[in-house]
Amino acid sequence: MKTKTELIKFNQGLDLESGARLDTFDLMVETYGELNKDKDNAILVCHAFSGNHHAAGKSSDNEALGWWDEVIGPGKAINTDKFFVVCSNNLGGCSGSSGPLSLNPETNELYGKDFPLVSVTDWVNSQKLLSDYLGISKWYMVAGGSLGGMQALQWAISYPNKLKKAGIFATATKSSTQNIAMNEVGREAIRKDKNFMEGDYLNHNVKPKSGLKTARMLGHITYSSEDIMDQKFGRKFQDIKSKIEGTVDYEVENYLQYKGEKFSDTFDANSYILMTKAMDGYDASFSSNGSLEEVMKRIKAKLLVVGFDSDWLYPPKRSKEIQLAAMNVDVECSCVILKGEQGHDSFLFASDRYVAIIKGFLDSK
């Protein structure tokens, strides 16, 4: 699979929904496959909260497989032999695109906590500039799960003529009260970490690792499901030799400790706060005073909405809401609810039906 990773500079800047402006910004972009002559085989893939531009494959032995590697690749559901797949790290992230870890050109210091608040719509606007840069006038599909699904939906709303299809997976038109509540617990854990220093930790050469770790541990519980946790860990005790923490009794505790620890090594706390704020703040109907139908009227793309039975973060009823609003205003939209045992994370895994449905959607006229 032909893979290219590139940092792209956008000197035209971007006006953000918050009213702030980035005079210049960078996007870290990874592409797979080749753009054809007509430039009509391009698929934009949008990442979820903690993902990044690295969606598929791996470029070196040390690198982890991309977050959607089960779905993107030669012969896979999103077939890179046929499609040119593009994924960029969202603004405000911490994997190379402009974010809290970048240099603020005005002050020549790291942005840190001063990186402006970004929104799903801002991301979509930045990705629009990316498509202009790549010379892609119409995406064959824009797709994503969770926070990535929100971007796919917003693409269809913001730029109706710039995409043919949208794949909207395991997501909702807005975060629920419960979603916001969960995210706030994560943010609180970070803010109360003594190393957080009100977001100014970079200047003190410390990192609020313990807060990030706690936040991620809670996150992992919400991405999973009761059944999959039972299946994976049951009530098995962790064997003494591989305990990460002395206090750990059960395997599930050790797993969360491990995942949390790993995440806190690589993720940035200010990014965590920005990303979850963007997720909480998203409401597709915001621009039309809460009428989802009103905004969805603009959509011209064909939609595929997929929800998963075991997802309790963005449960199937949230997918059905999107479908119903689409049908109310005559937008072409299919809605399938899959079994998906992995809870919210199911959208990442290439289960047979999921693959067949994505393939069918891509192959359809």
Pick from 50, 91, 46: which is nearest to 71 by CA? 46
Is residue 311 part of the annotated active site? The answer reads yes
| Beta carbon of residue 320, minimum distance to other proteins (angstroms, whole number) | 7
- Segment near other proteins (CB under 8 A); pick from 22-30, 154-162, 206-214, 349-357: 349-357
Q: Which is nearer to other proteins, 191 or 359 (CB)?
A: 359
Residue 288 tokens read as 């039309």
Question: Interface with other proteins includes 363 (CB under 8 A)?
Answer: yes
With a CB cutoff of 8 Å and minimum separation 6, the contacts of 128 are: 158, 159, 162
Site for other proteins contains 355 (CB under 8 A): no
- Token pair listed for 316: 């199937």
Q: Per-residue x/- marks for other proteins, 303-342, CB under 8 A?
A: -x---------------x--xx--xx-x-xxxxxx-----
Rule CB under 8 A: say whether 287 interacts with other proteins.
no
Query: Do 190 and 212 form a contact (C-beta atoms < 8 A)?
Result: yes
Size of the site for other proteins (CB under 8 A): 22
d(CA 9, CA 20): 19
134: contact with other proteins by CB under 8 A? no
The full 3-state SS of 198-214, as one line of letters, equals HHCHHHHCCCCHHHHHH
The least CB distance from residue 315 to other proteins, in Å, is 15
Contact 195/220 with Cβ under 8 angstroms? no
Q: Please report how close the Cβ of residue 220 comes to other proteins at its closest, in angstroms.
A: 29
Annotated active-site residue 200? The verdict is: no
Chain centroid offset of residue 136 CA: 22
Cβ proximity to other proteins, 83 vs 267, nearer residue? 83
CB-based contacts of 54, cutoff 8 Å, min separation 6: 5, 30, 63, 64, 66, 67, 87, 95
- Our CA dihedral for 219, 77, 316, 187, rounded to 10 degrees, sits at 20
Distance CA 129, CA 26 (A): 11
Q: Which of 193, 280, 311, 345 is catalytic?
A: 311
- When binding is defined by CB under 8 A, the residue of 105, 234, 290, 360 that contacts other proteins is 360
344 annotated active-site: yes
Rounded to the nearest whole angstrom, what is the least distance from the CB of residue 262 to other proteins in the complex?
A: 36
Q: How distant, in Å, are the alpha carbons of 147, 184, 308, 345, 363 from that of 358?
A: 18, 33, 14, 17, 9
Q: Which is nearer to other proteins, 91 or 335 (CB)?
A: 335
Q: Is residue 200 near other proteins by the rule CB under 8 A?
A: no
Beta carbon nearer to other proteins, 283 or 293:
293
Q: Which residues are catalytic?
A: 146, 311, 344
Binding site for other proteins (CB under 8 A): 302, 304, 320, 323-324, 327-328, 330, 332-337, 353, 356-357, 360-361, 363-365
